[in-house]
Every structure is written in C-alpha cells, then in structure tokens.
Amino acid sequence: MTMAVGAAEAADAVKIGLLTTLSGDGAGLGVDTRDGFMLAVTEAGGMLGGVPVDVRVVDDARKPETAVQAADRLVSEDKVALMTGIVFSNLALAVVPRVTRDDVIYVSSNAGPSQLAGAGCHPNYFNAAYQNDNLHEATGAAVEQAGVKRMVLIAPNYPAGKDSLTGFKRYFKGEVVDEIYTKLGQLDYAAEIAKVRADKPDGVFIFLPGGMGINFVKQYDQAGLKGDIKLFGPAFSFDQDVLPAVGDAALGVINGAQWSLDLDNAANKAFVAGFEAAYDRLPSVYAMQGYEAAHIMGAGLKAAGGDVSKLDDLRAGMRKADFDSVRGEFRFGTNQHPVQDLYAREVVKDDKGRLVNRIVSKVFDDHVDAYAADCKMN
Amino acid sequence: MFALLIEQVLNGLQLGVMLFMIAAGLTLVFGVMGVLNLAHGALYMVGAFAAAFIAAETGSVVLGILVAMPVAALAGLLIERLVIARLYARDHLDQVLATFGIVLFANEMMRILFGPRPLFLNVPDFAAGTLEILPGVPYPVWRLVIILVGLVVAGGLALLIERSRLGMLIRAGAQNRRMVAALGVDIGRLYAVLFALGGLLAGLAGAVAGPVLAVQVGMGEPVLILAFVVIVIGGIGSVRGAFTGALVVGLADTLGRAYLPELARAVLPPAAADQIGAALASMTIYLLMALVLAIRPKGVFGGRD
C-alpha cells in the first residue's frame, strides 16, 4: 500500500469539471445531471473510488460557444483531469474532441452522438449513458413486440430528429403510414394530430424532446386520440423531469429506456431512495446517468490509486467499470459505449398517486450500438 | 377530406386568436409609444405561470386564469414604470437591449421562483374532452373555448378603441404621438395604461394556452417571434391589422403544415418531397410576410405616420 502517496494526493483533490446546462432552455436536465453526480460524491463523503474529488460545476447555458469557452477554462486554468455533464449532442460535438485531445478524460452523462461512437471514437471518451440511437431502437423493438403494425412517425426537422426515425425503423418491421417532420420548437400540434386521425394508424411514435413533447402529449390526449391510437416514444418525453408537467395525459404511454425507477436491484433501490431523500423528488434518467458517470470515474480513480497522471491505469479502470450499477450489470463495448439491456416502460401511477414508469418488458439483452464496428480504437 | 379541412381551419383559427391576444398589446405599445418591447413574451410567460401556480394551490384552473390577468397587467405596469419609461426618448437599439435584458431577467426570476422544470396546468373540468363538431370529427372543447375567448377579446378591444375616450387617445397616439402630447393629454399615464392593458392580454393568452402547452421558462420567446410577424403583416399600431394578421398567420401556418408536405409529394419523389415539404411548411409565414412587405411595405392596415 502506498499510503504516503495517497495522503499527499489528498491534500489537493482530483479536479473534475462538471459542465452542464443550468440556465436557459433545458436547464432542468442539467440540474438533474448535476444532482445525480453530486449525490454519488456526497454519499462517498466527497470522494470517488476512495479518492477525494473537487468538482467544479459550470453552466454552458446550452450554447456551444459558451460550452467551448468554459471547457477551455476548465482544462487550462482549473487543470481538471476528468470532465462530464454535457446534455446536448451539439455541445458535446463542440467540446469533447477538444478536451480529449488534451488528455482530459470525458465521461458523457447523456449526449451520445454517432460521430463519437463510430469512426470518431477516442480512448479518452467514455459514454455512461447510451449511444443516441439506443432508446429509439428500443422503442422500435417495443412496438414490434407489441404487435403494432401500422405506425405514423413524428420528429422535428433537424439532424437528431431524422436520426431518431432511422433508429426506430432499424427494429420496427411494420408499415410506416406517414412520416411527419415538424418545426423544431413547435408549440402547436393540432395540424399534425388531425393528420394522424385521418391516417388511422395503429400507433404513433414521437421524438419531441423537451417542451415540444409536453405540448404534443397534452394536445394528443385533449384531442381524444390516446384511447384509440397508442402513443410510443423514447424516454425523453416521458421521464421524471417532465411527467409532473404532462399530468395524466401521459398515462399508458409506452417508452423505451435503459433504466427505470422499479429496476429490481439493491444499487437502484439505494439510489432512488437516496436521491429522493436528498432532493425531495424522484430521479430522472438524466439524474441516473450523472450518478453512474460519477461511479465510472470512481472505478478509474480507484485503479489509478488517485494518481491521474497514470492515464493508462485510469482508462483501464474505467473500461472495467467495476461498480454496482443501478442498471444491474454494466459494461463498456469496444467503443467505450454501454453494452446494456433496454426496456419498454409504461407510464402508470404509483401508490402515492405520482406518475412514474414501470417496466413492461425487456426488449434487448446486452445491446450493442450500431456504430461500434466502425470504431478503431488505438 | 372536407371534414379534415374544417378541422384544420378551426386549428388555424385557434392559433390565430391566440396570436391576436399577444400581438394586440405589442402593436399598441409599438404603434402608440414607438417602443420595441421584446419583453412582451415575458408577460405571456408570467400569465401562464401565475395561472399554473394558482390552479395548483386552489385546484381551480378558472380562478388561475382570472388571477393571471391582473398579475400580468401589474408586471407590465412595473416594467413600464421601472425601465421603459426611461427609454421613450431613446432609439430602438437601446430599447431592444433593455427589453432583451428584461427577458433574461424574467426567465431567471421564474426559474428561481418555480424551479427549472415545467409546471402543470390542466384543462378545467367543464372543458375536458372533445365535442363532435361534424359527424366523425371530434374537436377538443378547450380549443373551442380559446377561440371563443379570443373573439370576445377582439370584440371588446374593438369597442374600446372605436367607442371610448381612451380608445380615441390610442388612435390619435398611433397617428401622431407628439401632437397628442402637445394637446395636454397626460401621455405618461396613457402609456402606463396601455402597457398594463397589453400585459393583461398577453397574460390572458399565456393562461389559456397553459393547458395546451408546456408551462416553462422561455415559453414566451417563440410566441413573440410569431407575434412580431403578425404585427408586421397587419401594420404596426393597428389593432384591426393585428387581428387580420393573426388570423392569416394562424391559418397559413396550420394549413401549410397540414398540406404542403402532401402537395410536395404530388410533384416530387417521396424522399425529396418530405424534405422540401417540411422545410416549406416551416417557412410559410415568413414567405407570406416577405410577400406582404413587397406589396405593402407598411403592412396591410399600415401606412400612417
């Protein structure tokens, strides 16, 4: 044991940059990310993997230029060894290649753009959440399993919207009756909902992140369609961060996710109870991902004995990801993205009358993302 | 086919009256006071938040909406007295900077007061569900209520502007504000009243939109852009122009989204048609605005002062 070194290291803790969206549109997601991450640190008494850490929390305001500036400052002035926190893919694409080039390890707590999973993968980039397509793929498979044959697909007219439909169709083999592209940030979906009614499909898939999804689900319910045409989507519009705002309109919606409040393992039970005790609300997927990103960093720090200059040990420890995951088992694939189980969940009411998700079925076992084969690491 | 068209026209009408309630205050403030007020969308947000908060506390959505109006009017009055009253003599750039600052301030204020997550506001019980407007075409009752509220507001505002002393001053102010001031009218009080009225209408719009939309920080900005398109098309300072412009924008936007992708598919291969149709649908109202400006640079009901 190198106790002396450990004690010397403790004097100045390992610096971690938590760069996330804390103001402007999408701030709720960043707050959940931060709270999940900090819960893991607090639970371990200010340490990760037995190593004292000093977490610098910085707001990116959901603006790429702000994110890049803040990241540069974290790396050059604060000398952080590890970074995490970015919620949105366009910000991740602006920041991650810069900081990983400077030998800072970036552990994504949400964004998983395909560019960084395939040809653009990097030994210093880990994704603790998913590859962006995963939840759409899970939803497609869930629709297929539910035996729903004719679908209308709705997504905003921007790159992630198109990617979502591609991901959905990778595992949905039925008939796509109509593909509707909406404006990004659209408020009113009356025209689209009327079209869905006229198309008479068996189900509707929506990828409408943030407020768009809240608007759509409320309006879909108010139009009286929810009973007739089942609604499906990735977890983004149906998780704990938005369910209280959507209300009963979300009841019964089936959504694809890699985690759920009711996943039956000890780590998850402790996480959900701990989060609720600390913050007086239920954790969202974003909070879970922040929490797990912290534990993945902890696995690396433990392997390196807290010496962040031992980059190889740090990376090797993180690749092994030796910790009790709230997702049950957790491991990284060759591109350092999760190889994980994916589930179909349904929005229900719990015994306290709160809207929550319950697992309906497991749709993928140890799912590997579609870009892993293109990643030539090292 | 016909039933769907009727439904889409109603949808367009509903969006139109919503936009009118926001644009009316914006056009008056711009037309009469010459103030470019970017913070108008913040008043819409304040209305929605006030309604959601009161509804959550009391269990009554109607009470929430009723309270939202004076709250937003008061917020408008405060903004006018504290900030904008100092900017009347300054140019539009200063006003844009100051009112944009208010937008940022209001957003962070709401986040501090209510947290970063969206709030919940439901449809009042009496307006839950749908009504069969035509055989086989159920329509959400709440959207019909919004249309009704919008038309009542339009009628009331028309009466106020055409028949009251305040209305006379507003019309005169929109024509020539220096002359009105020279005639001894207390122009400061007129401005304050106008701002409160604009705030009240924006707050009402936010409150009735709350059950349909996400009540969240920043919800005023996308609406404000549409409202500016409305008043530019209608002619700045004209309430009648705002009404016409709002209906035109509401209908064009809704029908564009409903039918342009299909029209594109009739003449183009499907993959290209989806792309171009969706893009055209997003641009409809801006193309319309460009067209109107090319023919009538001061808007349909503009051309004064």
Mean pLDDT of B178-206: 90
User: At residue B87, does pLDDT exceed 70?
Assistant: yes
A31:B274 CB<8 A: no
Does A157 lie at the interface with B, CB-CB under 8 angstroms?
Answer: yes
Chain A: give the shortest CA distance to residue B4, in Å.
7
Can you give the pLDDT at residue A9?
A: 45
Does B110 lie at the interface with A, CB-CB under 8 angstroms?
Answer: no
> For residue range A241-283, what is the model confidence (pLDDT) as tens digits?
999 999 999 999 999 999 999 999 999 999 999 999 999 999 9
Mean pLDDT of B18-31: 93
How many Å is the maximal CA-CA distance in chain A?
73
Q: Are the CB atoms for B118 and B112 separated by under 8 Å?
A: no
Does A218 lie at the interface with B, CB-CB under 8 angstroms?
Answer: yes
Mean pLDDT of A17-45: 94
| CA atoms of A88 and A64, how far apart (whole Å) | 9
Which of A77-81, A208-212, A357-361, B49-53 has the weakest average pLDDT?
A: A208-212
Q: Where are the alpha helices (DSSP H) in chain B?
A: 2-33, 40-58, 61-82, 92-114, 141-163, 165-175, 177-182, 187-209, 220-234, 239-267, 270-295
User: For residue B141, what is the nearest residue in chain A, using CA coordinates?
Assistant: A222
B219 contacts in chain A (CB < 8 Å): 211
| CA atoms of B26 and B231, how far apart (whole Å) | 8
> For residue range B28-75, what is the model confidence (pLDDT) as tens digits?
888 888 888 999 999 999 999 999 999 999 999 999 999 999 999 999
Which of B11, B116, B222 is the closest to A187 by Cβ? B222
Query: How much is the ipTM here?
Result: 0.89
Chain A: give the shortest CA distance to residue B303, in Å.
32
User: At residue B80, does pLDDT exceed 50?
Assistant: yes
Mean pLDDT of B262-271: 84
Mean pLDDT of B198-224: 94
B215:A245 CB<8 A: yes
pLDDT, greater one: B266 or A345? A345
For chain B, what is the mean pLDDT? 91
User: At residue B137, does pLDDT exceed 90?
Assistant: no
Q: Pairing relation of β-strands A14-20 and A175-182?
A: unpaired
- Its sign, for the CA torsion A21, A27, A30, A34, is positive
Contacts with A, B 24-43, CB within 8 Å = none
* B90 band by pLDDT with thresholds 50, 70 and 90: confident
Which amino acid, one-letter code, is at A308? V
Number of Cβ within a 10 Å radius of residue A228? 10
pLDDT, greater one: B25 or A378? B25
| CA atoms of A17 and A79, how far apart (whole Å) | 9
User: At residue A3, does pLDDT exceed 50?
Assistant: no
A247:B143 CB<8 A: no
Does B69 lie at the interface with A, CB-CB under 8 angstroms?
Answer: no
Chain B: give the shortest CA distance to residue A236, in Å.
14
Does A222 lie at the interface with B, CB-CB under 8 angstroms?
Answer: yes
User: For residue A31, what is the nearest residue in chain B, using CA coordinates?
Assistant: B116
Can you give the pLDDT at residue B2?
A: 84
Does B276 lie at the interface with A, CB-CB under 8 angstroms?
Answer: no
Mean pLDDT of B201-216: 95
* A31 band by pLDDT with thresholds 50, 70 and 90: very high
Which of B118, B123, B257 is the closest to A245 by Cβ? B118
A219:B140 CB<8 A: yes
Mean pLDDT of B18-37: 91
B8 contacts in chain A (CB < 8 Å): 190-191, 194
Q: What are phi and psi of A104, to 5 degrees?
A: -95, 135
Mean pLDDT of A27-43: 96
Q: Are the CB atoms for A149 and A172 separated by under 8 Å?
A: no
Mean pLDDT of B176-201: 88
Can you give the pLDDT at residue B274?
A: 78
Contacts with A, B 144-183, CB within 8 Å = none
Mean pLDDT of A7-32: 83
For chain A, what is the mean pLDDT? 93
Can you give the pLDDT at residue B255?
A: 94
User: For residue B10, what is the nearest residue in chain A, using CA coordinates?
Assistant: A190
pLDDT, greater one: B275 or A15? A15
> For residue range A173-229, what is the model confidence (pLDDT) as tens digits?
999 999 999 988 888 999 999 999 999 999 999 999 888 999 999 999 999 999 899
B212:A188 CB<8 A: yes
User: For residue B142, what is the nearest residue in chain A, using CA coordinates?
Assistant: A222
| Percent over 70 (pLDDT), chain A | 97
B222 contacts in chain A (CB < 8 Å): 185, 187
Measuring CA to CA, how many Å separate A114 from each of A110, A332, A371?
A: 13, 16, 7
Mean pLDDT of B92-115: 93
Which amino acid, one-letter code, is at B43? L
Residues ≥6 apart with Cβ < 8 Å to A21: A27, A29, A30, A59, A60, A61, A62, A86, A87, A88, A91
| CA atoms of A102 and A87, how far apart (whole Å) | 21
Beta strands in chain A (DSSP E): 14-20, 47-48, 51-59, 82-84, 105-108, 125-127, 150-156, 175-182, 203-206, 230-234, 254-257, 331-332, 338-349, 355-367
Which structure tokens are listed for A146? 């539910």
Q: Provide the residue count of chain A.
A: 378
A224:B257 CB<8 A: no
Can you give the pLDDT at residue A67?
A: 97
Can you give the pLDDT at residue A2?
A: 36
Which of B15, B117, B123 is the closest to A28 by Cβ? B117
Can you give the pLDDT at residue A216?
A: 96
B223:A187 CB<8 A: yes
- Model-level pTM? 0.91
User: At residue A6, does pLDDT exceed 80?
Assistant: no
Contacts with A, B 198-227, CB within 8 Å = 211-219, 222-223
Does A185 lie at the interface with B, CB-CB under 8 angstroms?
Answer: yes
Contacts with A, B 121-140, CB within 8 Å = 122-123, 128-130, 138-140
Number of Cβ within a 10 Å radius of residue B81? 14
B212:A215 CB<8 A: yes
Which of A182, A191, A214 is the closest to B214 by Cβ? A214
Residues ≥6 apart with Cβ < 8 Å to A247: A218, A355, B120, B122
A212 contacts in chain B (CB < 8 Å): 214
| CA atoms of B195 and B180, how far apart (whole Å) | 17
